[in-house]
Structure 1
């Protein structure tokens, strides 16, 4: 561990998920700017079976490929910044090797049933779509810290401007995720997308339909049926012509994003671009699952005051979590409404925020600066005496 009177030793323990890593980098950059504390990257590569497979939760390196990963050895860090199931397992292992002296800041909802390990994280930073149990080491912020870097936007603009600039306006990017409980991608989902695309074409604009890895095979073909070549399509299953996603973030006039994709909604909102959220239908058990998530949203909300009834709710929520009768989860409608209430989004087809370059990105930037400052204030006590 670092010696008294020296800056704390900080590691960023990260895997290969760029969106996850970017959120940790925001905090690391803020620590360097505001406190003068630099951090070192410990990049981890997973064994092939765990690139997509989920390793068991706990302090372990059994899922790490040591030949392709950075070395994890003493001197151990005073603080670890991490995100995700796989890197956080390694962070817990490092903490165990340090005799419990290393502090861990986990960005995002802890993965799986972490009843035993919840207290091993010294600070858990989650955004408003996640619903962890309301323990003292949990801190909630409004929006995830993910954002598209200026360099990546500039590269997207340079690559796609020649293709996108001549198209009839408005250029509307229709961004598609995939089935996520309680939502399904069925004929109703396709009909809603079909209607929104038809409206863009009726207004003389250009819709560009962009699928993702999670988009069901054949779904985009069903949505595009009946349209002419004014509808542009990018399909992950048949990636012809390159992925226009970053180019559209830089150059599109408006965005329609399916309700399941929090990450794409946040990336658009952080740019201050007009954002429409396409509501998705529930599956046959979706309404039951949604009711469960709504109950968790009420039970697991952060403390609101110090009244007896509020203390009783917190005690009950923690008890239900420990007994595994109510698990941490996500509640998408709660997050959608937060974006709408702040003027950062509207429902698909409704009147929403005006064009880019308005006040939306300024409001998001100010809120993020407040959130990051609050995170640093929570980190400071963890490093006293380090």
Structure 2
């Protein structure tokens, strides 16, 4: 009996289905409830082409009351203490947050926790193992200190079924993850200059214990989701409100004080005076505050600029205009406290002026210096003519990191199926 001759497989055929050939078709994002960290994960997911094929879970700390003093301890211990406190004092109907010296209910909708599953590493690992043959490997992307034990446990429990990326430096034991993505300034504590500023008994807790190696991707700033596609969409969405404003449009983003960038009413007064000095050269001025902006600071800006027809201040009501501002602004003034805000505006290639940089120290100062060396930012002096433009190579950290993720996956024999 003559054997049956089968047709030749098409060129490039590997002999196994895509799913069994290391094709990654899904991602799981693990967030910590803070936009600055979670947006980095979403930005990387978008750049990898998995925007429509990812799920989202969170690691959340208890909030309100005594919990505000416990954010520095490991999250597992924090939850145990919170459980004991609730058992002794009873469970309140609302969690609380302190704002403007008033105690206000913190609803699930306001905190952004509604309908988001709490990340359980054991369940995620079981899911990754049981669905591996049918759906292929699981890409796990996490960001923030509280997500570290969850992401590392997932990899420990299912090392053959997941590829785990940790965004932001985990400080020690980088080998717990397949990739770590972190800004170069996270290694500032290892410099001789920084070591002189750290008491010897704190050095092992502040300084990253491992030097970057082949599975560490170093960026200039923070990853984000303000890519070209998102900005094109925002330009369309905000066209009617922003396109016809008198030019040049100067956008001012005001953050809030941090331990390494302390400021308050002093910086607000200085920034207001400088904005008044450049207002003659602006066609329009739009001001936005972050959730960290102190109330007394925002009220100062409102009292000075509320009646000025050139100036619009977003009051937090309605849609957040941030993406529209990135798309339509001609120049930016940004306070130096936020790596995320500076990374986003410096990805536009438009002029960026920093306010309050002299008040920042430690790795925030190192980050600002790296931006200045690239020609991406200048100090805001109040003597600028906003109509004068200048350019620089835009930050492209998210896309560049995505390219290195593809390379790392290829070394493992995996790839992202688009």
Q: Does 1:12 align with 2:28?
A: yes
Determine the structure 1 residue equivalent to 2:3. Answer: none
**Counterparts in 2 of 1:206 and 1:27: CA distance versus 1, 3 Å:** closer
Q: Does 1:340 align with 2:366?
A: no
Aligned partners of 1:163, 1:38: CA distance in 2, in Å? 27
What CA RMSD, in Å, does the superposition of the two structures yield over aligned residues?
4.3
| Larger of the two Rg values belongs to structure | 2
Indicate the larger mover: 206-215 or 144-153: 144-153
**8 A contact 2:43–2:398 mirrored in 1:** no
Aligned partners of 2:46, 2:77: CA distance in 1, in Å? 27
**Counterparts in 2 of 1:66 and 1:234: CA distance versus 1, 3 Å:** closer
**Counterparts in 2 of 1:39 and 1:219: CA distance versus 1, 3 Å:** closer
5 Å-filtered alignment, 1:146-157, equals: 146-150=224-228, 152-157=230-235
Aligned partners of 2:41, 2:244: CA distance in 1, in Å? 38
Gaps of 5+ in 2: 1-16, 83-112, 130-136, 188-207
Q: Secondary structure at the match of 1:218?
A: helix
Determine the structure 1 residue equivalent to 2:190. Answer: none
Q: Does 1:91 align with 2:151?
A: yes
Q: Does 1:107 align with 2:167?
A: yes
1:349-382 deviations in whole A, cap 9, x for unaligned? 37699888x864x6534x7655543444345445
Aligned partners of 2:241, 2:116: CA distance in 1, in Å? 42
**8 A contact 1:47–1:65 mirrored in 2:** no
Q: Secondary structure at the match of 1:130?
A: helix
5 Å-filtered alignment, 1:264-279, equals: 264-279=341-356
Q: Does 1:259 align with 2:336?
A: yes
**Counterparts in 2 of 1:168 and 1:382: CA distance versus 1, 3 Å:** same
**8 A contact 1:28–1:39 mirrored in 2:** no
Q: Secondary structure at the match of 1:129?
A: helix
**8 A contact 2:282–2:386 mirrored in 1:** no
Aligned partners of 2:250, 2:182: CA distance in 1, in Å? 31
Give me the TM-score of the superposition, normalised by structure 2: 0.63
Determine the structure 2 residue equivalent to 1:304. Answer: none
Determine the structure 2 residue equivalent to 1:41. Answer: 54
**8 A contact 1:194–1:224 mirrored in 2:** no
1:212-260 deviations in whole A, cap 9, x for unaligned? 100001212223444442332124xxx2464332222121211000001
Give me the TM-score of the superposition, normalised by structure 1: 0.67
Indicate the larger mover: 124-133 or 335-344: 124-133
Aligned partners of 1:184, 1:127: CA distance in 2, in Å? 22
**8 A contact 2:221–2:339 mirrored in 1:** no
Aligned partners of 1:207, 1:201: CA distance in 2, in Å? 8
**8 A contact 2:253–2:333 mirrored in 1:** yes
Determine the structure 1 residue equivalent to 2:250. Answer: 172
**8 A contact 2:128–2:162 mirrored in 1:** no
The alignment of Structure 1 onto Structure 2 pairs a total of residues equal to 325
Q: How far is 1:205 from its partner?
A: 3.0
Aligned partners of 2:166, 2:43: CA distance in 1, in Å? 13
Q: Does 1:130 align with 2:186?
A: yes
Determine the structure 1 residue equivalent to 2:5. Answer: none
Aligned partners of 1:56, 1:149: CA distance in 2, in Å? 34
Q: How far is 1:121 from its partner?
A: 2.4
Q: Does 1:141 align with 2:201?
A: no
Q: Secondary structure at the match of 1:139?
A: strand
Gaps of 5+ in 1: 294-330
